[in-house]
Amino acid sequence: MQHFEESMYRLIVETSTNLPGDVRGAVARAAQLEDQGTRAAMSLTTIADNIAMAETNVSPICQDTGMPTFIVHTPVGVNQIEIKKAIRAAVQRATKDGKLRPNSVDSLSGANSGDNLGPGMPVMHFEQWEQEEIDVRLILKGGGCENKNIQYSLPMELEGLGKAGRDLDGIRKCIMHAVYQAQGQGCSAGFIGVGIGGDRTSGYELAKQQLFRAVDDVNPHADLQKLEEYVMEHANKLGIGTMGFGGQVTLLGCKVGVANRLPASFFVSVAYNCWAYRRQGVLIDVTNGQINDWIYKGSEAADEALAAVRSGGSATENAAQSDGARPREIVLQTPIGEEQIRELRVGDVVIINGEMHTGRDALHKYLMDHDSPVDLNGAVIYHCGPVMLKNDDEWQVKAAGPTTSIREEPYQGDIIKKFGIRAVIGKGGMGKKTLQALQEHGAVYLNAIGGAAQYYAQCLPKVNGVDFMEFGIPEAMWHLETRGFAAVVTMDSHGNSLHADVEQHSLDKLASFKEPVFK
């Protein structure tokens, strides 16, 4: 199959850069349900812009291209060893070309392989079937939503919902709780796959397999169909909304599968996927390795609906407070003074110009015990692991959306105090320790739109430098020139947190679903 490697490369590029029609349609429908002028509407407009930009630029929709996971069905007699070699070569090439972020990290040393290869990566699952073609499906599921996966062992007590038993109603409670606990950290509005039964390992696999179903399919199992419909209706009443800003739409899809289990075990496993629902598949000619067909098609109707969302105005034009009032828009030039920060309030839209610095897990850990290579007094730290390419000895930002900030909670408050940082940008919010530091030292947390890697890459026209390349590209400290970078103040220097408010509100709503539904 001389063309198989090239076919795998095309599959990777398409999956990373172009959402299929069923996902686009789900995003467009969500935008139609949100009230115009809200933060949720702002977010969905930005998401729609980002989807179009990624397709046009043939660049990653989200900078976190996850752990590439391939599901391969082959006819009897096909050489799976050669298929594995071709997939690895295609992954390596796609990483070099900036279609995948180098995400393969040694679990002991922390060293990044630089090419997305290594023990267990990429993930490949093989099964034989009686068809004449090879079916290859790929899902790119980023770390932010992967970290919001959750598994329940029934019976158990659930926050806000009480006892979840070993029955359909207990399963319902688990799914509702899974949506609640994700909040905005998994880049809501999202999709979930649910696996009922199996053991701990196969339950998660079953849950992730559900993510390969079409968004608008109907579950053939009558009880599971009712369960999916219930979750889609009621999870969106939790009020978490896009990016956890509050709103009408929190969930874009729910797919449930079931497998047998041991008498002693009853697992409900939930695989959470962000709005950047990157999965695609191809049917391959077994004789030459060429693509015969794509499994998840485009849709003219979905494209038109998404274009209508984009025509609704820019992100900052659409932003509004929860009470409908138009937000203030404040332009800040780095370095930023404390007086400017103290004037900001939750809900303000901030436009940043000047230099900002990326920083993720490795950098935050390092800065706890070491000096910074650059002056961070008055600086902005961006929780971001960008996709970077080097052309003619100059680095270019290819994709640069925010990463989930809560991972930095153990460090962030101390680093704000130590270095005089004035603003932290990320997604999903942070905890009490950081909120206290913002108040005590005069800083703010700014929530950018998770997954909008192309939207934000255009705001980063120049790379001024980089430190700690030994951490790997995603974890290095990039010094980026910024123009017109927009984000929303969600934690201010006066002790206010939109994230805490939305979480409490959604917990109150969750408790309203405590009573039995399925008999």
Q: pLDDT for 458-501, tens place per residue?
A: 999 999 999 999 999 999 999 999 999 999 999 999 999 999 99
In the beta sheet, which residues pair with residue 446? 425, 489
What is the DSSP code (8-state) at residue 183?
A: T
Q: How far apart are CA 298 and CA 14, in angstroms?
A: 11
The predicted structure's pLDDT at residue 318 = 45
If you search the block for the tokens 């079931």, which residue do you land on? 258
Give backbone dihedrals phi and psi of 514, rounded to 5 degrees, phi first: -75, -35
The predicted structure's pLDDT at residue 314 = 43
Residue 305 confidence (pLDDT) above 50: yes
What are the C-alpha distances in Å from 139 to residues 8, 57, 136? Answer: 13, 20, 10
- Averaged over 430-457, what is the pLDDT? 97
Give backbone dihedrals phi and psi of 356, rounded to 5 degrees, phi first: -130, 165
The predicted structure's pLDDT at residue 37 = 81
pLDDT, tens digit (0-9, with 9 covering 90-100), for 95-141: 999 999 999 999 999 999 999 999 999 999 999 999 999 999 999 99
| pLDDT-above-70 percentage for the chain | 97
Burial 152-178 (b: 16+ CB within 10 A, else e): bebebebebbeebeeebbbbbbbbbbb
Residue 247 confidence (pLDDT) above 80: yes
Q: SS3 letters for 45-72? A: HHHHHHHHHHHHHCCCCCCCCCCCEEEE
The predicted structure's pLDDT at residue 325 = 57
pLDDT, tens digit (0-9, with 9 covering 90-100), for 32-65: 999 888 889 989 999 999 999 999 999 999 999 9
The predicted structure's pLDDT at residue 315 = 44
CA contacts within 13 A on the Cβ side of 452: 26
In the beta sheet, which residues pair with residue 255? 193
If you search the block for the tokens 């038109």, which residue do you land on? 304
Q: Find out whether 239 and 245 touch, Cβ atoms under 8 Å.
A: no
Q: How far apart are CA 475 and CA 230, in angstroms?
A: 41
The predicted structure's pLDDT at residue 326 = 65
What are the C-alpha distances in Å from 108 to residues 101, 116, 466? Answer: 20, 16, 24
Read off the tokens for 265. Answer: 């075990």
- Averaged over 186-196, what is the pLDDT? 96
CA contacts within 13 A on the Cβ side of 283: 9
Q: Find out whether 26 and 67 touch, Cβ atoms under 8 Å.
A: no
- Averaged over 158-172, what is the pLDDT? 97
The predicted structure's pLDDT at residue 468 = 98
Read off the tokens for 407. Answer: 């991972």
What is the DSSP code (8-state) at residue 275?
A: S
The predicted structure's pLDDT at residue 316 = 42
Specify the amino acid at residue 370: H
Q: Find out whether 59 and 399 touch, Cβ atoms under 8 Å.
A: yes
Residue 320 confidence (pLDDT) above 60: no
What are the C-alpha distances in Å from 311 to residues 42, 93, 173, 327? Answer: 12, 36, 39, 20
What is the DSSP code (8-state) at residue 404?
A: B
Q: Find out whether 28 and 302 touch, Cβ atoms under 8 Å.
A: yes
Give domain limits for the chain: 1-141+280-321, 143-273, 328-500
- Averaged over 404-421, what is the pLDDT? 98
Q: How far apart are CA 342 and CA 209, in angstroms?
A: 48
Reduced to 3 states (helix: H, G, I; strand: E, B; else coil), residue 439 is helix
Q: How far apart are CA 497 and CA 12, in angstroms?
A: 39
Kindly report each contact of residues 353-356 with a partner whose C-beta sits within 8 Å and lies 24 or more positions away, as own/partner. Answer: 353/482, 353/483, 353/484, 353/485, 354/380, 354/481, 354/482, 355/379, 355/464, 355/479, 355/480, 355/481, 355/482, 356/380, 356/381, 356/382, 356/425, 356/479, 356/480, 356/482, 356/485
User: Exposed, middle or buried: residue 2 (CB in 10 Å: 0-12, 13-18, 19+)?
Assistant: exposed
Q: How far apart are CA 197 and CA 269, in angstroms?
A: 8
Q: How far apart are CA 305 and CA 421, in angstroms?
A: 41
| Residue 417 CB coordination number (10 Å) | 13
CATH class of 328-500: alpha beta
- Averaged over 388-410, what is the pLDDT? 95
The predicted structure's pLDDT at residue 238 = 97
Residue 373 confidence (pLDDT) above 80: yes
Q: Find out whether 405 and 445 touch, Cβ atoms under 8 Å.
A: yes
CA contacts within 13 A on the Cβ side of 350: 31
Q: How far apart are CA 397 and CA 479, in angstroms?
A: 11
